[in-house]
Structure 1
């Protein structure tokens, strides 16, 4: 304070003390000046609302009340109104309200009576001291030397008023206390300096409640750890109504402690994600606002309310005049807090903190999307205040979630260290880059986002990642990301506009990836190559490959040399139309030997393979191409059977003219020709059915799906998998019985081929040497066993059965019978299948009813499929036994192809 202000303050103190200036000592004058300095330097704000209009009306009412003559009072009130109008238009005055209030306070100060006694409770700007010489300086020794802090400023006026309302003797005793005692007393907590009288008033309870609202124990209200709420102390001298009201208000402190504990625990939790941290930040911000509100309440509350409760005056105090009483209740009482006013003020804060405490309890163990879902569930609350609060909360809490998605959308990278999004990343190098590195967790999609929108966001980021890191399409990506940043705004709001922009970006990104894969990396060429080579769609290549590998694959699989197979594969490419294919395609062809048992031949272990080049191989890892291997093994087996039958037919045709004059084998040769032609017809019909009815049909559907429009590469991969599944479910599925029957039939055909070649070798030997060949030891053993089982023991019978030609004839007829039985079993299995296409295959093979089987089994199978019994007798069936047979003559030697 400068010298001019100090001089003015000293003059003001001298004027206030002028009635008794002769009795004022220099020490008392110095204390009064120091006290005024502390008042001027304090941060205690005025509790009076700066309403100039209201103050003007109050002054006019005061003028009317002070004049008994009504006309005189009205004249003075009108004069005041005119002066007030001039005061408002005076340009030199910046605070006319303060001037009016100061003048009003001076006019309201009561005059001293003849005995020199002061009124009990003066008000106005000088109500903190300096009333009279004997009363105003009595409390100066107890005053704190420093300006009061805002948190404890409300208690000092109460102490001053209490001290000023005591007797002069008590005031003199208080003035003799030392400054050290006053300093120590100022360090005692405010809750322990409350009056200890048996009667607890509302001001003391309100001070305690203000501490409670901040989660701090007061003098009368303590926190109960068992009940987790604030409770009044036992046996307090309070009415039941006051105690219930105070307990009700104290619950706000319990809500504050619960919310504060949740925030503190989550801040120290290293596993808490960004979403949980955002929730804590929002709750902490609301708790800070709550503390600011409590500070406002504390500034509004001053213990002057004790003076407004009209306490009984002492015998030495003069009776309060009506003017003093009206002034106290009109100015001070209206600005004081009471329990009922406090309850009205705390309706909204209590509702907010109660919801925050409930939210903290509900979200204690939640994480990521589950936390968002739990908070969003309150968005449909019936209370509009809660709905608005939840909306603001979701805007803050969902921000980290949308930040993760934005980085995924615009950069193709996932920054989610706490796994709070619905995208999962795997760092295992053995996983596929496209299908396995990133996965969509449908259970982690929050309810604030539609499932289809989440799928599109996932695919956009995955496509962007693939284009950037594997296709090096950087120029297009930079331009597209710039467009998406302007178009896509991820936030908690109406999702309709977001869905439109995401759908636009999804189509652009998916279309670009499809275009790059199809044009730059020629995916369709690779699809067609796999169909032609692995599914044996290019017949000349398959035939050349089989011819080149005939000698090598006839060995045991363990003795097959890979360099010979490699040379045969290259020879087949050069000898067929595959020679004109792009080397990029033919270079992907390879082979493998899948040896399951040591007895496997090379035909059983050989497997042709096709390898996708990068980056197409990322879409089709080896696990997704296993159906190609299974299909190739089946089709290769069928092709090898056809090759063996063709070789046999060529041998029969070449030697037919040579063996024409051999009368002893004429019937057997004719029978061999008939069975061989029958098997060739069966294999050709089966190959035609597989190629055109199954593979080409599935391929046509696959091409139709591509031509229809592929917006996403996952759709293309899914369509290709459906293409493979539609073929493998019919040809290599283990649930079909006809697959096992067909494999056994292939083995029987190869055995028949070996027997037929052996028969022709015997015939050629007899033709060119003129004597019958000797029987091998194995054939002799088989013949002896057959004779023993038939009961033939004569030497002539044994000699006839040991004849090699007779043995060859017998084995041929037995094998041909076995073939026909196997075909009948296969047709029965096909005809009883639930697949219409397989029943069509049975009809195609047996189009002329050449093969017969038990009609009862077929009827039962059809009845089982249709759900009702049916009887379908076959007019051409002549066998009454359950053993499948073929339509032929009773003499096997005269049977042939009909």
Structure 2
């Protein structure tokens, strides 16, 4: 009791309590001395100083004793006292009041406190001799209950007895055990405590006689030594190697992890050095003053010292086991998983460790985002590069390894990091551009990060994301400027549309006229050089000559692989030379799809061109038919019937081809191009541009019936194209024979008139008979063609039923999409009219299982005008 104020307060209290007694100053001095001894003792209640628990206990006691109103009043007063100005702690006050309430019921004979005895109670013999007997005497009536009559405290007595018992059962001193435990904490065997390989632990041998509690405590303390061996072994396996081994097996993240563990072990070594210095001080005897304040080290004190280091060592051992066999981002992610803990000590320790471990990883991210450099010697980064050609650099050059992506970097952020670095490499390798450096420097300056090392680390994910977003925005914008302005991407796309997708009408017409005769020859006799010259002729003869020369030079003739029976029409195609960096978009697979579309459109144009040729042949019908009108009725009727069949068949074919061309050119190519153009202008990076182009090309393939789902319709469509070409061949041969007979008939007529003029008088009858015979002979040759046409044309007319059916199916496919009509209306065009659903169902019902239309269907098709009906008419 060094506090003078406390002494004065105690003296005032004793004086007031004894002022009513008759003991005088001598009794007051004895009571004051006894009070000082009580206050100076180390007696303490064996309870936890929990204010709320004590208040709840008081309320429960009041409620149990039948005083619920008092319990509510106590709760109200306690809550008011808690929120207002109050002592530093209410627990001592509540405990004192609770103790006084309990003592009041125990000392019912004591009516008031002033009857405190005037002298201290005498000591018992047992207490004085220190045998440990429990004090059993009470204060005389009218006094307070004494806690203890032993001046040395009963706890100290029990401690001395326990110490004497331990000394009798122990043959090893505690100082020796402490020293061995400290050795074990460093992974070193001591004199008594050694590492047991069978049990994989540090322990005392069975021959060493120590109390069970001491053995248990030693085993518990030596656990940190076992953990230390595990951590040190991991560091030794990864760091203490030759440089060649480390270069092939240990990455920079693993080295940083080992370095962080080594730093933690350095602090651990410092603690052990302090403990070893304390262990040199002797352990005092129980009961001495130095037991409390002495600078010695016992097993129990050692347990207190090693409590927190053991937690850290246990955590490091868990990390070592979890990271064994991992590298790079996978190791950083595994360590990050153990950082999700609510303990502040855990969070602080793991944060310090992860900042060291993730430093190489964040440096790789910074180098990739701002410089496009993939500095990953040990394959630790979550972005991996592949050795590919320049045209495949963007699509296949760099990928994300999901197993190397740590959890603290989201997949969305990882994709942004990947695209940013890819853009820099694409600009540098494919575009030969260095403007990205300025964009990266501007992005780093905008977010306050330098382009040099540092500035990023674990716990700064927001700063990393801000840097990536800003760098991606600036670098992608620069890349789009280079693609559109320097390499004119849109102009090349438009050139492909005009020349490969046959959008330049006059060029296609000139090309068809020029190369048509050449392509009718067998494919193995056609020279690609000659075709290239004809292509140049078609360019110069059309408006294509005014295009940029660089674009025109990229259009080339390509002859596909062909067999012995192939014609030039079957192998002829055009290709567009897309060079770096445009070949990133127009890859080999993409150009194959363009070639597929070109072949389809080229065949459609060829069919249209053939029908135009048929019309040119059939148009002067008056000249062709005039000689046969002079013949007999039978000949004239048969000739007119065949001619009408040809004209009706031509009309049906031409009607379908015209409508189908309209659909392809306007509803497919133009609508798809308009959508692609909008998406091209809105693209923010190269991935968006590639996606828009793939969508554009896929739309053309699907709507042109070239997709996988339309192969059946496409085969029928190609079969109909072949029928039209055969019709052109038959019509040409038929009219060629007719022209031949017409010219022969004119020559015979002139010869007859000249001969009859010379021999008018004598040969009239003979000439008239001869002319009659020749006319019948020519008519017979014409009639010989009629059975041929009547044998060929019905088969063609039968196939027209399939023709019309395919046309109806095509229309139904298109009618499912409302965008066709809306787009048509917006372009100011009138939708193509097709078969009504009723007539199409009639054709379907008449179609036999073999796939060919029935004669009824053929007759219906032949006799009808095949005017395409609008859906409203169904």
After superposition, the Cα gap between the structure-2 partners of 1:644 and 1:290, relative to the gap in structure 1 and judged at 3 Å, is same
**Aligned match of 1:560:** 526
| 1:24-82 superposed Cα distances (whole Å, 9 cap, x missing partner) | xxxxxxxxxxxxxxxxxxxxxxxxxxxxxxxxxxxxxxxxxxxxxxxxxxxxxxxxxxx
Secondary structure of the residue aligned to 2:557 is: strand
**Aligned match of 1:724:** 697
How do 1:225-374 residues align onto structure 2 when only pairs under 5 Å count?
A: 225-267=197-239, 268=241, 270-302=248-280, 304-305=282-283, 308-309=284-285, 330=290, 334-374=294-334
**Aligned match of 1:451:** 411
Q: Is the 8 Å Cα contact of residues 234 and 320 (structure 2) preserved in structure 1?
A: yes
| Aligned alpha-carbon RMSD (Å) | 3.2
Q: Is 1:207 aligned to 2:179, yes or no?
A: yes
How do 1:454-603 residues align onto structure 2 when only pairs under 5 Å count?
A: 454-474=414-434, 477-478=437-438, 480-481=440-441, 483-484=443-444, 487-488=448-449, 489-603=455-569
| 1:702-728 superposed Cα distances (whole Å, 9 cap, x missing partner) | 112233x32212111111111001111
1:827 to 804, 807, 814: 807
Q: Is the 8 Å Cα contact of residues 394 and 422 (structure 2) preserved in structure 1?
A: yes
Inter-partner Cα distance in structure 2 for 1:479 and 1:720: 26
Residues paired across the two proteins, number:
634
Q: Is the 8 Å Cα contact of residues 679 and 749 (structure 1) preserved in structure 2?
A: yes
How much does 1:224 deviate? 2.3
After superposition, the Cα gap between the structure-2 partners of 1:835 and 1:685, relative to the gap in structure 1 and judged at 3 Å, is closer
More helix by share: 2
After superposition, the Cα gap between the structure-2 partners of 1:594 and 1:443, relative to the gap in structure 1 and judged at 3 Å, is farther
Inter-partner Cα distance in structure 2 for 1:224 and 1:656: 119
After superposition, the Cα gap between the structure-2 partners of 1:336 and 1:851, relative to the gap in structure 1 and judged at 3 Å, is closer
**Aligned match of 2:834:** 847
| Stretch of structure 1 that moved more, 682-691 or 440-449 | 440-449
1:745 to 702, 707, 720: 720
Inter-partner Cα distance in structure 2 for 1:257 and 1:882: 94
Inter-partner Cα distance in structure 2 for 1:844 and 1:814: 31
Q: Is the 8 Å Cα contact of residues 852 and 885 (structure 1) preserved in structure 2?
A: no
How much does 1:832 deviate? 6.0
Q: Is the 8 Å Cα contact of residues 851 and 885 (structure 1) preserved in structure 2?
A: no
**Aligned match of 2:644:** 670
Inter-partner Cα distance in structure 2 for 1:752 and 1:716: 45
TM-score (norm 2): 0.68
After superposition, the Cα gap between the structure-2 partners of 1:832 and 1:582, relative to the gap in structure 1 and judged at 3 Å, is closer
Inter-partner Cα distance in structure 2 for 1:614 and 1:348: 63
How much does 1:220 deviate? 1.4
Q: Is 1:217 aligned to 2:189, yes or no?
A: yes
Secondary structure of the residue aligned to 2:339 is: helix
After superposition, the Cα gap between the structure-2 partners of 1:301 and 1:625, relative to the gap in structure 1 and judged at 3 Å, is same
Q: Is the 8 Å Cα contact of residues 649 and 797 (structure 2) preserved in structure 1?
A: no
| Stretch of structure 1 that moved more, 276-285 or 206-215 | 276-285
After superposition, the Cα gap between the structure-2 partners of 1:517 and 1:429, relative to the gap in structure 1 and judged at 3 Å, is closer
Q: Is the 8 Å Cα contact of residues 695 and 727 (structure 1) preserved in structure 2?
A: yes
How do 1:815-894 residues align onto structure 2 when only pairs under 5 Å count?
A: 815-830=795-810, 833=813, 836-837=816-817, 847=834, 852-855=839-842, 884-885=857-858, 887=860
**Aligned match of 1:57:** none
| Stretch of structure 1 that moved more, 560-569 or 495-504 | 495-504
Secondary structure of the residue aligned to 2:395 is: coil
How much does 1:847 deviate? 3.4
**Aligned match of 1:384:** 344
How do 1:16-27 residues align onto structure 2 when only pairs under 5 Å count?
A: none
Unaligned runs of 5+ in 2: 1-168, 450-454, 630-634, 747-778, 822-829, 868-874
Inter-partner Cα distance in structure 2 for 1:850 and 1:857: 10
Q: Is the 8 Å Cα contact of residues 801 and 861 (structure 2) preserved in structure 1?
A: no
**Aligned match of 2:662:** 688
| 1:114-139 superposed Cα distances (whole Å, 9 cap, x missing partner) | xxxxxxxxxxxxxxxxxxxxxxxxxx
Inter-partner Cα distance in structure 1 for 2:474 and 2:859: 63
After superposition, the Cα gap between the structure-2 partners of 1:448 and 1:633, relative to the gap in structure 1 and judged at 3 Å, is same
Inter-partner Cα distance in structure 2 for 1:721 and 1:850: 34
Inter-partner Cα distance in structure 2 for 1:802 and 1:238: 132
2:366 to 387, 400, 406: 406
After superposition, the Cα gap between the structure-2 partners of 1:745 and 1:441, relative to the gap in structure 1 and judged at 3 Å, is farther
**Aligned match of 1:427:** 387
**Aligned match of 2:627:** 661
**Aligned match of 2:26:** none
